[in-house]
């Protein structure tokens, strides 16, 4: 989304997260998505990717600290549903 918001050209590679390919695991020690690779640069944290995108021309896409806190709280609350671990 950060790349799209900044109109940065990119190509997407989808993986099966239940059977992660070795080529993907070679890029990221955590084995999580997203991963951005540009040349020798590999970014494996969403915030790093947003910071990378922010360096490009166009309107700022940085969230305020308050918005980040709200997003983290919502994601934290929803995570058991995403992972189907609701008790
Ligand atoms: N700290 C990482 C967390 C990334 C993360 O948790 N990604 C999830 C998808 S949103 C993931 O890859 N889940 C699959 C797994 O852990 O195997 C970030 O902010 O980018």
Tens of pLDDT, residues 17-30: 999 999 999 999 99
DSSP state of 11: -
Q: Determine whether 38 is exposed, middle or buried from the number of CB atoms within 10 Å of its CB (0-12, 13-18, 19+).
A: exposed
Give 62-82 pLDDT, tens digit per residue. 889 999 899 999 999 999 999
Residue owning tokens 């998505």: 33
Token readout for 6 is 């900044």
Helices first, then strands: H and E counts in the chain: 4, 2
Query: Chain centroid to CA 31: how far?
Result: 12
Q: Ligand 1 in contact with 48 (CB < 6 A)? A: no
Alpha-carbon span 84 to 81, nearest angstrom: 5
- What rounded mean pLDDT belongs to the chain? 94
Q: Ligand 1 in contact with 45 (CB < 6 A)? A: yes
In a mutational test of the pocket of ligand 1, which residue from 24, 30, 33 has the highest number of ligand atoms less than 8 Å from its CB? Answer: 33
Domain 2-61 sits in CATH at 3.40.30.10
CB 53 within 8 A of CB 8: yes
């Amino acid at each position: 989304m950060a790349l799209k918001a900044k109109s940065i050209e990119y190509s997407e590679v989808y993986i099966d997260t239940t059977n992660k390919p070795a080529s993907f695991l070679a890029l990221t020690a955590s084995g999580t998505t997203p991963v951005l690779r540009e040349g020798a640069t590999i970014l494996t944290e969403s915030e790093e990717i947003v910071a990378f995108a922010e360096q490009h021309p166009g309107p700022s896409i940085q969230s305020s600290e308050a918005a980040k806190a709200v997003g983290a709280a919502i994601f934290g609350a929803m995570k058991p549903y995403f992972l189907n671990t609701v008790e």
